[in-house]
Structure 1
Amino acid sequence: MIAQTPQPPYYAVIFTSIRTAVDNGYGQTADRMVELAAQQPGFLVVESARNEIGITVSYWVSLEAIQHWRQHAEHTLAREQGRREWYYAFKTRICKVERDYLFENQ
């Protein structure tokens, strides 16, 4: 399902990752991070896909909301565990969405 976002402008955080073979609670932590993010002021919605490369995009109302989420204690612990165990590499990009378009074949 394509995430429902408000009219632009809003912000997107694009998290692209390459996983290690280590699981050690990865799925549960990923679910918990989405649950926690959804509770943060300014969070809009998230989309995620995983194959050889994982891509998760979360949408936010402001840069301040993104920074608040980045500093969340539990998110910080998960990020540190990701660096130690779950990821060979990851990259985070923060973008301002100025326009969006939707096509649905009904």
Structure 2
Amino acid sequence: MMGQMPEPPYYAVIFTSRRTEGDQGYAEAAERMVELAREQPGFLGVESARGEDGLGITVSYWASEAAILAWKHHPEHSAIRERGRSTWYSACHTRVCRVERAYEFKQ
């Protein structure tokens, strides 16, 4: 992402996960979730990284807690979340934070 964000406050959802072996449709589903999230009211952006050891961190940014809850309850997102728990992740953790301040550096 590393793009233009609004002035705080806004919200960040931090999703940390450890992948299971093999793709099993994961890459396609992850791409679809980003595409679908971008269509949601209040979505501001997403950043994601995954290490060689399978540990991944995805941070999505939202304008409000209501937007986060709407995303959480979106039927397609709910179905993919359940598939993640049953197939793609050996462990995962979600944290919701309010961003009070933000700083950036560019060269």
Q: Give TM-score scaled by structure 1 length.
A: 0.95
Give identity over the alignment, percent.
62
The count of corresponding residues between Structure 1 and Structure 2 is 105
- Quick check: 1:16–1:92 contact (8 Å CA) kept in 2? yes
Q: Give TM-score scaled by structure 2 length.
A: 0.94
- Following TM superposition, the consecutive aligned residue runs of length 4 or more in structure 1 with deviations greater than 4 angstroms are none
Report Cα offsets for 1:45-90 as digits up to 9, x if no partner: 0000011310000000000000000000000010000011000000
Q: RMSD over aligned Cα, in angstroms?
A: 1.0
- Quick check: 1:44–1:59 contact (8 Å CA) kept in 2? yes
- Unpaired runs of 5+ residues, structure 2, are none
Once the two structures are superposed, the pairs formed by residues 52-71 of structure 1 within 5 Å of their partners are: 52=53, 53-71=55-73
Deviation at 1:24, TM superposition (A): 1.3
Deviation at 1:13, TM superposition (A): 0.3
- Partner amino acid for 2:32? R
- Unpaired runs of 5+ residues, structure 1, are none
